[in-house]
């Protein structure tokens, strides 16, 4: 077994992961830039709200009151700030999340231009769907690919057998026999 290609691939994977991590950190350090449509959000305006009065902002948080419409948003460090949303065309219920884009007015009032109501189960649905899709993709990769110490990731000659026919097309026999040409009237 040659260690050269495996070590060079491992090194390349480490470099790519480091670049990916660096890009995530760099994105997290980007501040508001209205000229690029990156507006200050509730974490930015929580410390010095008066500085942003008259500017476009994005506020998201849990609805704590509907008359008047009030959203409680976290500043990212454990403190909660409440914002009153006016001129909104949305009618969220208490407990739902509301994402609002609008103009900051004095006394923690946001004049809404647009808004999106996220149901209470919205995050659970998103995480559940993502986990299901990730598991399906992982299963497909494990079934059809294998790790070869010399060549890296290579396609299997024969996919792994999965019980109960999950992911099979109906022409695979777990015993290894080829049944693709056994049907009457089909071309082999």
Q: What are 43-73's pLDDT values in tens digits?
A: 888 888 899 999 999 998 899 999 899 999 8
Residues paired with residue 86 on neighbouring β-strands, in sequence order: 111
CB 64 within 8 A of CB 71: yes
| Residue 165: partners with Cβ closer than 8 Å, 6 or more residues away | none
pLDDT at 70: 93
Can you tell me whether residue 122 is helix, strand or coil? Answer: helix
Q: What is the C-alpha separation between 130 and 183, in angstroms, rounded?
A: 39
Q: What is the C-alpha separation between 61 and 35, in angstroms, rounded?
A: 25
**Token pair listed for 119:** 């149901």
Tell me: pLDDT of 165 over 80: no
Whether the full predicted model's pTM is greater than 0.85, yes or no, is: no
Give the residue ranges of DSSP H helices in the chain.
4-28, 42-45, 122-144
CB 59 within 8 A of CB 42: yes
Tell me: pLDDT of 16 over 60: yes
- The more confident residue out of 54 and 175 is 54
- The more confident residue out of 41 and 185 is 41
Domains observed in the chain: 34-120 (2.40.50.140), 126-165 (no CATH)
pLDDT at 184: 52
Tell me: pLDDT of 13 over 60: yes
pLDDT at 137: 93
Mean pLDDT of 7-17: 88
Tell me: pLDDT of 87 over 60: yes
Spatial CA neighbour of 72 closest among 52, 95, 51, 102: 95
Tell me: pLDDT of 174 over 90: no
pLDDT tens digits along 105-152:
999 999 998 888 887 777 788 899 999 999 999 998 889 998 888 778
* Phi, then psi, of 121 in degrees rounded to 5: -90, 5
Tell me: pLDDT of 180 over 60: no
Q: What is the C-alpha separation between 179 and 188, in angstroms, rounded?
A: 10
> What band does 188 get if pLDDT is binned at 50, 70 and 90?
very low
CB 79 within 8 A of CB 62: no
Q: Is 154 left (phi over 0), alpha (psi -120 to 50) or beta?
A: beta
């Amino acid at each position: 077994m040659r260690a050269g290609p495996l070590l060079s691939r491992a090194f390349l994977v480490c470099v790519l992961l480091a670049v990916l991590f660096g890009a995530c950190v760099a994105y997290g350090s980007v501040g508001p830039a209205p000229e690029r449509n990156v507006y200050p959000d509730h974490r930015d305006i929580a410390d010095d709200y008066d500085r942003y009065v008259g500017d476009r902002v994005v506020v998201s948080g849990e609805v704590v009151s509907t008359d008047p419409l009030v959203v409680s948003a976290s500043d990212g460090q454990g403190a909660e700030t409440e914002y009153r949303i006016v001129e909104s065309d949305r009618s969220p219920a208490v407990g739902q999340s509301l994402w609002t884009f609008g103009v900051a007015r004095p006394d923690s009032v946001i004049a809404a231009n647009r808004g999106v109501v996220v149901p209470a189960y919205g995050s659970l649905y998103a995480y559940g769907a993502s986990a299901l899709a990730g598991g399906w993709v992982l299963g497909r990769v494990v079934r059809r690919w294998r790790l070869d110490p010399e060549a890296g990731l290579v396609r299997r000659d024969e996919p792994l057998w999965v019980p109960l026919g999950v992911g099979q097309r109906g022409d695979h026999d777990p015993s290894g026999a080829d049944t693709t040409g056994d049907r009457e009237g089909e071309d082999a």
